[in-house]
Amino acid sequence: MSEIQRAKLILKILNKTYPKIVVPLKSRNVFTLLVSVLLSAQCTDVNVNNVTKNIYPKFYKPKHFVKLGRKKIEKLIKKIGIFRVKAKSIYHLSKILIDKYNGKVPRTFEELENLPGVGHKTASVVMSQGFGYPAFPVDTHIHRLAQRWGLTNGKNVVQTEQDLKKLFPKKNWNKLHLQIIYYGREYCKARECFGISCKICTSCYPKRKKPIKTKKA
């Protein structure tokens, strides 16, 4: 089975398994989506949502976070990993949004990636989920699954993103990256499936007997 054939099969299984998809991170607007994605680094979506549900009703604009200041932001997000680093990024990017973009979140990858604490993956999520622009955010989980499913031999998330974009139609990207995340959490877990038990793995590689090792991003 070729990569293209595997991609078509995977897309079919994912669309059947998850015909409708819900964005896992709760947000009030594009700015709070940006903050939530930044907070989600090395942290679960559930934990982020539990913290932000007490923040966003009151604080949902850059000016709110600038007025709070770094120390108060730290107190609000202290249950999240590396909260001091994230608080610093949120404070400074809020100032930049006010000073440079009139309090609005910019709509280009380049401008987003120039904001403190915002990498390509975070920018991709904001572009796709916030603005509806075709993007394919790839994190370590998608990187692992793409290798396991024979869609890439990428040594890093950059190469994996490029490979996935070539294999799947652009119209599917925004929904597909979430479908892959949900499927990985539910059926193709790192320490349960090992590439030999879930429907996608057994469909793509029916003769695979040994657990597959994947390269870390």
- Just list the catalytic residues: 121, 139
* Cβ density class 29-67: b for 16+ within 10 Å, e for less: ebbbbbbbbbbbbebebeebbebbeebbeebbbbeebbe
d(CA 94, CA 67) in angstroms, rounded, equals: 10
Distance CA 165, CA 26 (A): 26
Q: Scan for tokens 């994190």, then name that residue.
A: 139
* DSSP assignment letter at 129: I
CA distances from 141 to 38, 66, 97 (A): 17, 33, 30
**Cα–Cα distances in angstroms (integers) from residue 176 to residues 21, 121, 151, in the given order:** 9, 15, 14
Q: How many CB atoms lie within 10 A of CB 164?
A: 22
Amino acid letter for position 163: D
